[in-house]
Amino acid sequence: MRNFLLAFILLLSTHVNAQYIFNEYDVNPAGSSYPKELTIMNGRLYFTATNLANGHEIFSTNGLHPDLTLVSDIMAGPLGSGAANLTVLNGSKLVFSADGGGGKGIELWQSDGTNTGTSLVKDIYAGGVSSTPESFYAFNGKVFFSAYGSAGGNQDLWVTDGTNAGTYLFKDINPTGGSYPKGYCEMGGKLYFEAFTDLEGDEIWVSDGTDTGTRLLKDVKTGMMGSYPQNFVAVGNKLFFTVSAPPPAGSIVYESDGTTTGTNIFSRPGFNHINSNFIIPWRNKIYLNSGFTSPDALWYTDGTIAGTDSVKKVDFAGWPVVYKDKLYFSGSTSSSGIELMVSDGTKAGTKLLADIITGPDGSAPSYLTVYKNKIYFIAQTSLGDTQLYVSDGTDTGTHKVINPLGTQTNPLSVKAFNGFKEMDGKLFFAANYSGNGAELWSLEDTSKPVGIVQVANVQNIELYPNPAKSVCNIEIGNAAYQKGSIQLCDMKGSVLQQQQLSAGQKHATIQLANIATGVYTIKVDVDGNFVSRKLVVQ
C-alpha cells in the first residue's frame, strides 16, 4: 500500500507540473551571477549580473532559450562596472549608472541594447570623483535623478535625455548645499518629490518639468527641521503623503491638490499612516495599509474624507495584487503568522486564504505576481527553505510549484531572488535550482488559459497579466475578423496608446514601461464590435 501511495503521489506531481516548462540562462557557469533589475525594452529582457570574465555588467535575452548576450563589457575585465539603476527612456534606451574605468568613477551611462550603442553620457563630476547618479525616475520624456556635481560636490536634481548636451543640473534646489531629491510621484501631469534645503529642511516639492515650474509646494513644518514627506500616492486628482509627527502618532497623512493652499492635513480619524509596501488601486479606489494601531488595518480611499474608511484590522507584510476582483496580500491574523490572505473588500471577506505553515511562524509570502491567470509568489516551507508557489485563489489550489530540474533545497533565497518579470508568455526570475548558483530562470505555463471573457463577434479575449507592470498581453480567439484596433486610455478617456490589428490577428502587446501606476481601460474594436476592460498598472 505504501508503494502504491508513493507512486500515486509521483504521478500526481508529474501531472501537476507537466504544464510548466523551466529553462535556465546560465550567466556564470562558475557560480552565482545574482541577476537583478529585470527590465524589458524593445522585446528583450535586460538585467545586471556577474560572471568571472566580465564582473558585474548588463546582460540581455530575447527569452528564447538559450539566447543570452553580454550587452557591453563597460569596465573591461573581471572587476565589472557595477551597472545599476536600469531605467527605460522613451521605450528605446536604457539609462543607468556605471563605472567605465579611466578614473572617471561612477557616472551616467546609456545603451540601446548593443555594444556599439552603449556609452558614457556625461562625466558629471569631472575627474576621478564619482557623481553617483541614483533615484532615477522617467518623466515627460526625460529621466530625472540625483547626482553630485563638480561645483561643490552637492547632491542635486539632474535630468537627461540620454545625450551629453541634454544632461544638466535641472534645479539647484539648495544653493548652499545638497538637496537630496527622492520619492518621486506623478499626479496631474506634475512630479512631486521630497527635497532638502538649509532653510526649510526636508519638504515637498513639485515640478512641471521646467526649471521655473519647479518649486517648494509647501513648508509643512516651518523652520529648518522639515516635515520629511514620504509614501506619496496619487488618488485621482489628489496626492496623499505622510509627514513626521511626535510620538505616539509618529506620522500624519496630508492631502494636496497641487497648490500651496490645497495642501493640508487629511482629517480622517485613525488614518494617520501610509505603508509604502501596501498601496494598490482597486475598484476606482486606492487600498492601503494605515493606522499605527496594533494591529494595523486595511483601508480604502477615493480621495475624499467620506470615501475613506477601514475594512478590517490585520497585520501586514505587503505585496498586494488584484486577482479575479479580489485583493490578495501577505499578512497575518491573531492565530497565524504571515501567510497568504484575501479580501473581497468587506470585513467578513478579509481573511486567511492558505496557512502554508500551520501555527504562529508563517511562510512569509512575498513578490505576489499575477501571471497566466494565477498568482505566483515565493514563500518559506516548514523546513525553512524558500520555494516557488502558485495559487488559483483557493486554499486547495495554493501549492508549491516543483521544478523537475531542481536539485537545491533553498532555490529562491531572498539573497538570490529579485522579483518576477513577465515577457512573451514567460515568467522570469532568479533561482538556484540546478547547483549552478543563482541564475536567471524562466517558467512557462503551457496550460490552457482560463477566465475567458465573451464579447460580441469575438469568441474569446484574454487580458493578462492584470495587474501588469511592464507589458500587457491581449489574446483574441477569433481569427475571422477583418479589421480591428486596441486603445489604452486613462480614466478620463484620453487615448495614451493605439495600435491597429491586422485581419485575423490573435495576439497584441501593450507596452507599459512609461505608464504611471493607476487604473486604465483597454478598448478593443473588432469589425465595429467594441469592448472595454479595466487594466491595473503597478
Section 313-338 average pLDDT: 89
Express as a percent the part of the chain with pLDDT over 90.
Answer: 61
Amino acid present at 404: P
The lowest-confidence range among 220-229, 371-380, 506-515, 527-536 is 527-536
- List 488's β-bridge partners, or say none: 497, 522
Which single residue is written with the C-alpha cell 526649510? 200
pLDDT digits (tens, 9 = 90+) for 67-114: 999 999 999 999 999 999 999 999 899 999 999 998 899 999 999 999
In the numeric block, which cell numbers belong to residue 432?
A: 538556484
Q: Is residue 494 part of a domain?
A: yes
Computed over every residue of the chain, the mean pLDDT equals 87
- Please give the residue that has the higher pLDDT: either 460 or 457: 460
The 3-class SS string of 177-214 reads CCCCCEEEEEECCEEEEEEEECCCEEEEEEECCCCCCE
Give the residue with greater pLDDT, 334 vs 237: 237
Q: Supply the DSSP string of 355-382, one letter for each residue.
A: -SSTTTTB---EEEEEETTEEEEEEE-T
Query: Three-state SS for 494?
Result: coil
pLDDT tens digits, one per residue of 380-403? 998 889 999 999 999 999 999 999
Question: If you count them, how many residues does the chain have?
Answer: 538
**Domain-located, residue 475:** yes
Does 339 reside within a domain?
no
Model confidence at 341, in pLDDT bands (50, 70, 90)?
Answer: very high
Alpha carbons 410 and 382: distance in angstroms, whole number: 12
User: Would you say residue 182 lies in a domain?
Assistant: no
Q: What is the DSSP letter of 450?
A: -
Q: For 236-288, write each residue's pLDDT tens digit.
A: 889 999 999 876 667 899 999 999 999 999 988 888 888 888 999 888 889 99
Residues 6 or more apart from 85 whose CB is under 8 A from it?
Answer: 37, 95, 96, 97, 133, 134, 136, 145
How confident is residue 519, by pLDDT bands cut at 50, 70 and 90?
confident
pLDDT at 294 over 90: no
Pairing of strands 69-72, 84-89: unpaired
Q: Burial letters for 429-458: b for 16+ Cβ neighbours within 10 Å, e otherwise? A: bbbbbbebbbbbbbbbbeeeeeeeeebeeb
Which structural domain, as residue segments, surrounds residue 533? 453-537
Whether residue 499 lies inside any domain: the answer is: yes
Instruction: Write the pLDDT tens digit of every residue in 183-196.
Output: 999 999 999 999 99
Q: Are the beta carbons of 238 and 213 closer than 8 angstroms?
A: no
Q: How confident is the model at residue 11 (pLDDT cuts 50, 70, 90)?
A: very low
Indicate the DSSP class of residue 338.
B
The total number of structural domains that make up the chain:
1
Tell me if 478 is assigned to some domain: yes
Decide if 367 is inside a domain: no
**Average pLDDT value for residue range 327-339:** 90
The DSSP call for residue 418 is: -
Tell the residue number behind the cell numbers 505603508, with chain if given.
Answer: 275
Considering the domain boundaries, does residue 405 fall inside one? Answer: no
Q: How far is residue 502's CA from residue 450's CA, in Å, rounded to a whole number?
A: 25
More confident residue, 517 or 279: 279
502 DSSP assignment: P
Residues 205 and 538: their CA atoms lie apart, in Å, by: 23
Band of residue 492 on the pLDDT scale cut at 50, 70, 90: low
Q: Which pLDDT value is given to residue 3?
A: 34
Q: Residue 461 is part of a domain; what is its CATH number?
A: 2.60.40.3080
Q: Judge whether residue 460 has pLDDT over 70.
A: no
